[in-house]
Structure 1
Amino acid sequence: MLSEHQRHWGVDQWAAYLSNHELPCMPRSKAQLLERESELGEQLSARDLADIAGADPFLCLRLLRAAESRRTQRLGHETTTPLGAVMQLGTDTFHKLLRDCPATNEDNAGLAACEARSYLASRLALRWGTARADLQPDEIAMAALLSEIGELLLWSFAPELPLAALEALHSGRAQRSIQAQMDVCGFRFKDLTLKCASIWNLPGLLPQLIRGIDNTRANLSRLCIDTARHLASGGHDDPALPSDIAEARHLIPGASLNWLAEQLPGIDEEGAALLALKAAELIEPTEP
């Protein structure tokens, strides 16, 4: 229950409050580690451990913060991928970190939906990012995975705020998610993510990619986040998806519209072709 004082907090106060909480992990991460190592009879490789972390925004962030703390002491390179974090810490430290990590509540529907969007955005970043040789898809995917961490923290420790924003959106008092967040909370959840990233001293590349406006990689990260939100809210019939595919073509000119559409999870060949056709009409409008 929020106190009357907390109801008047701005983004700085919420960032300070939430960033001091111990980060949890998704229960499936612990279960997956135990199950896979039990079947294998030995510890998983660093790559396999990174795959587990790369599917859990809470665990990924916890791992990154620990790796960055160790890096700062040793003055090494910034850690910007799950694999880099595992290599920085070592597999034994990863096991201890995950073992000691509290599990979040998967029955929290709002948290589950937000976390699913984050994972979807990161998978899409890996798929689309492979089409540009000058990009490092793992970095874009990590930024996409962590992009919703401000909202995830709210769902975990102050669910009244995102619930109220959702109610404002569904009731029609706000037309878009960002407007609902501003009306109810006075700040965007993305700004909360960026404030927390600053408090945690995360590598400078990640906030740049999450902000999504400075260069091709940042724009692609933002686009993956937006596309994941459109898929989550309207499925493959969401009217914003053709525009997303058209923008992806602008950022990845070497990829065809059909290929870009086919990378959307769960879409069949016919659906991808229809999306590509609509995107093409946006790029080159048909003559009246």
Structure 2
Amino acid sequence: MQPHQWDWGINQWVEYLKDKDTPVLPRTRAILAALQAEGEEARERMSALDLVNIVYADPYLALKILRRAEERRSRQLGHDTTTPLAAILQTGYDELQAIVAASPAFDDVLPGCNTCEFRSVLAAAIARAWANCRSDISPDEVSMAALLVEIGELLLWHFAPEMTDKETQVREWNERYWALMQRPSEIEFTFRQLTMALAQAWELPGLIVILIKGTDTPRANIARLAADAAKLITMDLELPAVLSLLQEVHKVVPGATLVELAEPLPLPDEIRAELLKAIESGDSNQGASNA
């Protein structure tokens, strides 16, 4: 990273990042290489859903195949590519292998980058579960958006690691200790604003851009709240914060109970037990007040 880049605004970062070739995760490269080594037999064993599961575990690959599918999609189809399955069907097994093989090697990254990658994958799983609770017409669209919500930060981890490491520490401090002292930020935009700007620069499908934005519709709110939940889980978990978030989700998915909404969250046993007790107590209090 060059010294002058510390002074860049969001438009300069978008111009710099939008054409960068990102790596895929090492485990993705290993899985695809193993399948390639097994030859035709392994290829015949793999279903499209098997390949989709590989994509869901790698936000970089999800972005790559989504962009590739959109580039090659016939405009006569009349609809965008908005799910990993649709993207896989557009690209195919051979091209998926080619995309992964041609991706840059994955350099050593700071721990914060690994955390952000984990958050993205976790957010996708949570979003799919919550969308299913709402009987969403296409939970995979919501899940795809949640998988890509952090892509702006993920790219900065690779191409401006020093700045991103410093900025994430500042923002985490401010989220945890806002009542004590706010630390000044050195960049003028949020990571999610960068994600939105990049999504528009890449001309991703309009529906995916709306869902990544995370407002205006119940589906978009699910994607945003799933990303928030994943971030909360990777920080210092506190019961009031988890309960408050679940109550926000319940407004968007009123047909599900708080217990059902908590189920896809990978909480420690002690936190889950406390959460269920708090939910039960809240339900009892609500019932008493209604009586």
Query: Normalization by structure 2: what TM-score?
Result: 0.87
Structure-2 separation of matches of 1:149 and 1:281: 41
1:55–1:119 CA contact under 8 A, matched in 2: yes
Seq. identity, %: 39
Higher mean C-alpha displacement, 160-169 vs 46-55: 160-169
Shift of 1:115: 0.7
Aligned residue in 2 for 1:42: 42
Aligned residue in 1 for 2:277: 274
Question: After the TM superposition, which parts of structure 1 deviate over 6 Å for at least 4 consecutive aligned residues?
Answer: 179-182, 281-287
Shift of 1:254: 1.5
Structure-2 separation of matches of 1:281 and 1:165: 43
Tell whether 2:64 aligns with 1:62: yes
Structure-2 separation of matches of 1:145 and 1:109: 19
Q: Matches of residues 76-91 of structure 1 in structure 2 within 5 Å? A: 76-91=78-93
Shift of 1:11: 0.3
The alpha-carbon distance between structure 1 residues 238 and 57, as it changes in their structure 2 partners (threshold 3 A), is: farther
Aligned residue in 2 for 1:261: 262
In the TM superposition, what whole-angstrom CA distance separates every residue of 1:179-202 from its partner, at most 9, and x where no partner exists? 989822111111111111111100
User: When the two structures are aligned, how many residues end up with a matched partner?
Assistant: 283
Aligned residue in 2 for 1:154: 156
In the TM superposition, what whole-angstrom CA distance separates every residue of 1:160-184 from its partner, at most 9, and x where no partner exists? 22122133246669956xx989822
Query: Normalization by structure 1: what TM-score?
Result: 0.87
Structure-2 separation of matches of 1:138 and 1:124: 11
Higher mean C-alpha displacement, 241-250 vs 127-136: 127-136
1:68–1:79 CA contact under 8 A, matched in 2: yes
Q: Matches of residues 54-133 of structure 1 in structure 2 within 5 Å? A: 54-72=56-74, 75-105=77-107, 107-133=109-135
In the TM superposition, what whole-angstrom CA distance separates every residue of 1:75-128 from its partner, at most 9, and x where no partner exists? 542011111101011221111111211232354212101111111110101111
Structure-1 separation of matches of 2:26 and 2:288: 48
Shift of 1:151: 0.4
Structure-2 separation of matches of 1:48 and 1:185: 40
Among 166, 187, 190, the residue aligned to 2:189: 187
Unaligned runs of 5+ in 2: none
The alpha-carbon distance between structure 1 residues 75 and 82, as it changes in their structure 2 partners (threshold 3 A), is: same
